A and B are shown apart, each in its own frame.
Chain A
Amino acid sequence: MFQVFRLRRSQAGTKQGRDLSPVRLIALSEPPLKAPAPTDELAEAEQAPRRKRKPVGWSMIFIGVLVAVSATLVYRRDGINGVLDILTHDLTLFGGILPRVLAGCLLGAFIAEILPHEKVSRSLGPTSGLKGLLIGTAFGAILPGGPFTAYPVAAALLTVGADFGATIAMVVSWTLIGYGRAVAWELPILGTDFTMWRAIISLPIPVLAGALGRLVYVRMYPKGEPS
Chain B
Amino acid sequence: MTMSALIIDATLWGSVLVLGFIAFQRGRLVVISAAREGARISSTSCRGSRSA
Chain B residues whose CB sits within 8 angstroms of the CB of A59 once the complex forms: 48, 50
Known pairs A17-B26, A100-B9, A103-B13; A110 contacts B41 (CB<8 A): no
B35: A residues at CB distance < 8 A:
106, 109
Chain B, 18-52, contact with A by CB distance < 8 Å: what is the 0/1 string? Answer: 01101100110110011101110110111111111
- CA A101 to CA B20, docked complex, whole Å: 16
Provide the residues of chain B in CB contact with A18, threshold 8 Å. 27
Q: How far is the CB of B24 from chain A (nearest CB, A)?
A: 10
Q: How many A-B residue pairs have CB under 8 A?
A: 138
Question: In the complex, what residue of chain A is closest to B35 when comparing beta carbons?
Answer: A106
Q: Collect the chain B residues with CB atoms within 8 Å of residue A55's CB.
A: 47, 49
- A residues 87-136 near B (Cβ < 8 Å) are 98, 100-114
Can you name 8 extra interface pairs (CB under 8 A) apart from A3-B44, A145-B11? A1-B46, A25-B44, A53-B52, A54-B49, A60-B48, A107-B19, A113-B23, A113-B30
Could you jot down 27 A-B contacts, CB within 8 Å?
Answer: A3-B49, A5-B41, A23-B33, A24-B52, A25-B41, A25-B44, A53-B44, A53-B52, A59-B48, A98-B46, A101-B42, A101-B46, A102-B38, A102-B39, A103-B13, A105-B41, A108-B38, A108-B41, A110-B16, A110-B19, A110-B22, A110-B34, A114-B22, A148-B45, A183-B4, A184-B2, A188-B4
Q: Which residues of A contact B (CB under 8 A)?
A: 1-3, 5, 7, 15-18, 20, 23-27, 50-57, 59-60, 63, 98, 100-114, 144-145, 148-149, 152, 180, 183-184, 187-188
